[in-house]
Structures are given as C-alpha cells and as structure tokens.
Copies of this chain bind each other. A is one copy, B any other.
C-alpha cells in the first residue's frame, strides 16, 4: 500500500533535487529534514548498476556539521570515543558519536579540512544541536554550524574511471577515506574516496548549493560512456556488505558495542571524551544486545516496513531490524538486534512478518563477501 510523500517547505530540498526528479526519482524519504530520493523505480537495475557499473546518488541530506576555531580539534576529540591519533588534514575517519550514557547518537565520517576546521558528515540525527550544546556549555572557543555543503556520491566499480575523467588521474591514487579540496570548472568541491557502499567510489562534496544542477549534469555526462545511471544508498547491497544504517539497525539506547564498533572505542585514551565512564562500564559488563547477520528461508522478501519480533525456542530474543533478498547469496538475509545470549553463530530464529512465518539462523558477517559477482 503506497503513500504519497507530502511535499512542502518544512523539509529542505537538496541542490540536486530538480535533476534527481528529472532523471526519474520515484521514491523519497526525509533525512536530516531534507528530501532524499531512495529509488528511481527499478530496484534490480539500480542494484546491478552499483555492483557491475557505476551509479550517481543525491546524498545531500548527509549534512555537514562544521567545527572551526582554536578549540576545534579539542572539541572533536571530546565528541568521539575514537582516538584520532595524528588525524592529518585530508584524511577522513569513521567516528561514532555517543552521549554521556554511552548511547550511539550518530556514526558520521569526520573530515579534517584545515588544522582547526572539521566536518562531521552525519547520519539522521541533529548532531548540529548536540555539538553546539557541548561546545557552548563546555566553553570551547569554536563556531559550530552547517555549511552549504552537499555530497553527491558516485559508486560502483567503474566510479574511478568516471571521477578520473572529471578530475584527473590523481583520484586513482587517493586512498580510501582520504579527500582533497578542489574544483570542477569553477565549482568548489571536496573529492573524497568514500561512500555508503562496498563497491568503491567517491563522494563529491559540493560547496556551493547554487551549482547543484551544473555539477549533476557534468557528472552525468562524464558517466555516460560507462553506462552510469541514477541510484541511491542501496538497501540490498548495504545489508550484503554489513554497512550500518543508523536508526534502522539501532535502538535509541544502543551502545556502539552492540553494532560491532569495539575497535573504534578507545577506553585507554588519556584524554576525556563523552561517554568514557559509561562505555567503560558497558565494555566490562558486555553489551546486552548485539547486531548479527542472519539468513532465512522462504520465498524472497523485498523489505520490512518495521522491525519484526524474533524468537529463539519461543523466547523473545530481540528484533529483526532489516531484511531483503540477496541476489548474490541467493537467500533472504537480514540484520537482527538480539540479546547477546542469542547471538552465537548457528542460533536458530523464528519470526513473523507480512503475515508469513520464517525460520532463520545467525551467520557470520559480511553476509556476502566483497567481490562476489551477481550470478548470471
């Protein structure tokens, strides 16, 4: 049963909105108070394009929280449990943000643009408010604001060729998560080797919202020889690859330990950071829940509208958070957030969804190994 999304001025439009619509966007969501296209009406083609070709995505709703000023680095270090170590200019890092009770608030990518200028490229929660409150109440000498910066992602195995044709061969040598400030025919942007897929690619952080259509057109033209088409963060590929979807896979009180972020929680850091005490306690006690990969039988599912209750031997074990049919694993797959005692590999699960009953099993992640081709 489809519902129409209400259009109006409360939600912002991306600088790429008009072009995404012209290219046939059919489904939208709202992410960080901004419309985001999530499908162009042919899910199979979008998946194939991402896996075997190249795809361009309007991900402007991945907003930036910019932190500048003499205390910028000190504030950034306080905001995340991850030890940034040297944190050079030009290198991005995936940095969980937690609150004082150790709850995961967001999982942005941090970009250091200058000695004292950082962006947090955020998932769907108001980290702008969080960072501002922390900065002001803590007396940090910084400015925290949302700059006019909107990412356009180019993802897939042929993304490198497209981006090299646009910017030059130097992009081939850019290491994963590194980035460079540059321009394209006068359009200011940041080119980063990153993106929410495991198929390789880049994100062009457009730094002038008035140039959205121009940038879209240039990228589209460069992609044409490679068969590029429009796409969006891909629901199937991300489940196959084990990329976290904050809010879909997590609960409001999820700790970073539930979702496999242990290696980014540096409790032995000498300096203080938000949530240090609480996270230390959770690490000692062990997380109550864990996010695990599952496979399950039955006819192919498309997606779940909401989480499904999962049972083990009749006991409620937690929730199936996200499911899909994986063309590459040739099975239904999903992510489940379960009480830790039910998360051992091989645990048998039972659950119902969309009026059907399913039997599944906890399996290792990623659910599909990188490089696995789509079967003929």
Residues of A within 8 A of B (CB): 1-13, 21, 25-30, 33, 37-39, 99-100, 105, 124-127, 129-130, 132-134, 136-138, 146, 235, 245, 247-248, 252, 274, 303-307, 321-322
Contacts and interface: CB of A to CB of B under 8 A. Distances in A.
Nearest to A323: B9
Contacts of A39: 6
A257 to B, nearest CB: 20
A294 to B, nearest CB: 14
Contacts of A25: 3
Contact of A33 (B12, B133, B247, B321): B247
10 nearest A-B pairs in the assembled complex, by CB-CB distance: A133-B133, A126-B126, A137-B137, A5-B5, A10-B248, A30-B30, A100-B136, A3-B28, A129-B130, A6-B29
25 contacts: A3-B7, A3-B25, A4-B28, A5-B27, A6-B29, A7-B303, A8-B29, A8-B304, A9-B248, A9-B307, A10-B245, A10-B247, A11-B247, A13-B305, A29-B30, A30-B30, A33-B124, A33-B125, A33-B247, A105-B129, A126-B126, A126-B129, A129-B129, A133-B134, A137-B138
A10 B124 contact: yes
Contacts of A247: 10-11, 33
Contact of A3 (B4, B12, B305): B4
Q: Which of A12, A30, A37, A99 has the most CB of B within 10 A?
A: A30
A127 B129 CA distance: 8
Contacts of A321: 9
Contacts of A245: 10
Given A4-B2, A21-B1, A125 B132 contact: no
Most-contacted residue by chain B among A6, A10, A274 (CB, 10 A): A6
Contact of A9 (B4, B10, B100, B322): B322
Number of copies: 2
Given A11-B247, A129-B130, 20 more contacts: A1-B21, A2-B4, A3-B5, A3-B27, A4-B4, A5-B5, A6-B27, A6-B28, A6-B39, A8-B235, A8-B303, A8-B304, A8-B305, A11-B29, A12-B306, A99-B133, A99-B136, A125-B129, A129-B129, A136-B274
Contacts of A303: 7-8
Q: Is the interface of A mostly helix, strand, loop or mixed?
A: loop
Contacts of A136: 99-100, 274
A250 to B, nearest CB: 10
A306 B134 CA distance: 32
Contact of A248 (B8, B27, B274): B8
Contacts of A138: 137
A305 B252 contact: no
A91 to B, nearest CB: 27
B26 A3 contact: yes
Contacts of A133: 99, 129-130, 133-134, 137
A10 B2 CA distance: 17
B4 A5 contact: yes
A29 B5 contact: yes
Nearest to A321: B9
A125 B1 CA distance: 28
A38 B6 contact: yes
A132 B100 contact: yes
